Amino acid sequence: MIITETIFAYGHENIQATHRSTFEITKDARLSEKGDCVVAVSADKSMADLSPKFKKNLRKKNARVIILIETKEEAETVNAFGSQRLILTHPTDIVVRKSSYICNRTLVIQADKAACALSRELVEKLRNPKQRVKITLTVEV
């Protein structure tokens, strides 16, 4: 079974994308220079907004997840896994983790990329506050 969620967000001039173990998408419009894991702001969805069907499948054993981050000119794919332990309730944030750490902000674990591994061409586009970003989450069970 394959289920997809689409999130639309925007870039921000303070995006650094240098964090070594995570990346984050947030509904917040503001971003300080300390937010080195954030890759998109002003998202139209957070964990709390994902559909019950998507969350149910994300929590199944062996759920595989593909995250596609797209601008008009650039795209990047990240592969990760769901977990039966996922909480999926945070009202503003979505965090992708290379580790197996889980909190209410965690979307997936054991991702093959963190913010620092995203292409610098994509990151440059994400530094434009007018840049619309499409994030497609696909869970396969």
Q: Residues 66-120: pLDDT tens digits?
A: 999 999 999 999 999 999 999 999 999 999 999 999 999 999 999 999 999 999 9
pTM: 0.97
Helix (H, G, I), strand (E, B) or coil at 38: strand
The conformation of residue 91, written as its DSSP 8-state character, comes to S
Q: What is the pLDDT of residue 26?
A: 98
Query: What is the average pLDDT score of the chain?
Result: 97
In angstroms, the CA 89 to CA 101 distance is 15
**What's the average model confidence in pLDDT over 38-53?**
97
Other beta carbons within 10 Å of 48: 15
In angstroms, the CA 4 to CA 1 distance is 10
Report all structural domains of the chain as residue ranges with CATH numbers, in order of start. Answer: 2-140 (2.60.120.630)
